[in-house]
Chains A and B, each alone.
Chain A
Amino acid sequence: MEWKTAAFTQFPSPALREWAANPLSKGMRETSFGPLLEEVEDRIKKQQGDKWNRDLFENRLMGYSMRTSQYRFTVWKDYTDTKAKPIFFELYDHQSDPKETVNIANDNPNLVAQLL
Chain B
Amino acid sequence: IEKPNILFIAIDDLRPELGAYGSEVAITPNMDALAAEGLLFNNAYCQEAICSPSRASVMTGARPETINVIENFSYFRDLNPDIVTLPQHLQTAGYETVYAGKIFHPGYTDEELSWSRKAYSGPKVEEMPERVRGYVLAENQEIFRKNRAEVIAKYGENAPRNGLGKGPAYEFADAPDNSYEDGHNTELAIETMKEMAQNDKPFFLGLGFLKPHLEWIAPKKYWDMYEDVDLQLTDQHEGPVNGAAMGLHASFELRARADIPNYGDIEEEQAKNLKRAYLATVSYVDAQIGKMLKALEEEGLRDNTIIMLWSDHGWHLGDMGIWGKATNYEIATRVPLIVSTPNMPDAVRGSKTNALVELVDMYPTLCELAGVSIPESVEGQSFKPLLTNPN
Contacts and interface: CB of A to CB of B under 8 A. Distances in A.
B330 to A, nearest CB: 6
**A-side interface mostly:** mixed
Contact of B252 (A7, A16, A57, A100): A16
Contact of B246 (A1, A69, A88, A98): A88
B254 to A, nearest CB: 11
Contacts of B245: 40, 43-44, 46-48
B240 A92 contact: yes
Contact of A10 (B70, B74, B160, B381): B70
A9 B333 contact: yes
Given A63-B246, A90-B247, A18 B356 contact: no
B304 interface: no
Contact of B356 (A1, A5, A88): A5
B330 A67 contact: yes
A17 B45 CA distance: 19
B241 A18 contact: no
Contacts of A4: 356-358, 381
B43 interface: yes
A103 B71 contact: no
A65 B333 contact: yes
Interface in A1-43: 1, 3-22, 25, 27-28, 31-33, 35-37, 39-40, 43
B243 A103 contact: yes
Interface string B49-87: 111000000000001110000111110000000000000
A96 interface: no
Given A3-B356, A90-B244, A11 B162 contact: no
The interface centre, meaning the residue of B44, B63, B326 with most chain A CB atoms within 10 A of its CB, is: B326
Given A8-B47, A31-B155, A100-B329, A36 B240 contact: no
Report, as a range, how many residues of chain A touch the other chain: 35 or more
B18 interface: no
Contacts, number: 184
A88 B244 contact: yes
B164 A9 contact: no
A9 B246 contact: no
A62 B327 contact: no
> Looking at A32, A47, A57, A79, which has the most chain B CB atoms within 10 Å of its CB?
A32
A1 B383 CA distance: 12
Contacts of B326: 11, 15-18
Contacts of A48: 245
B356 A69 contact: yes
B160 A25 contact: yes
A18 to B, nearest CB: 6
Interface residues of B, number: 57
B343 interface: no
A92 B247 CA distance: 13
B169 interface: no
B262 A63 contact: no
Interface in B305-338: 319, 326-330, 333
Interface in B172-212: none
A63 B243 CA distance: 12
B356 A67 contact: yes
Residue among A19, A22, A69, A76 with max Cβ neighbours from chain B (10 Å): A19
A69 to B, nearest CB: 7
Contacts of A106: 242
B253 interface: yes
Interface of A: 1, 3-22, 25, 27-28, 31-33, 35-37, 39-40, 43-44, 46-48, 57, 61-63, 65, 67-69, 72, 74, 76, 79, 88, 90, 92, 94, 98-103, 105-106
5 contacts: A7-B357, A15-B327, A18-B253, A21-B74, A40-B250
4 nearest CB pairs, A to B: A21-B73, A15-B249, A17-B71, A36-B250
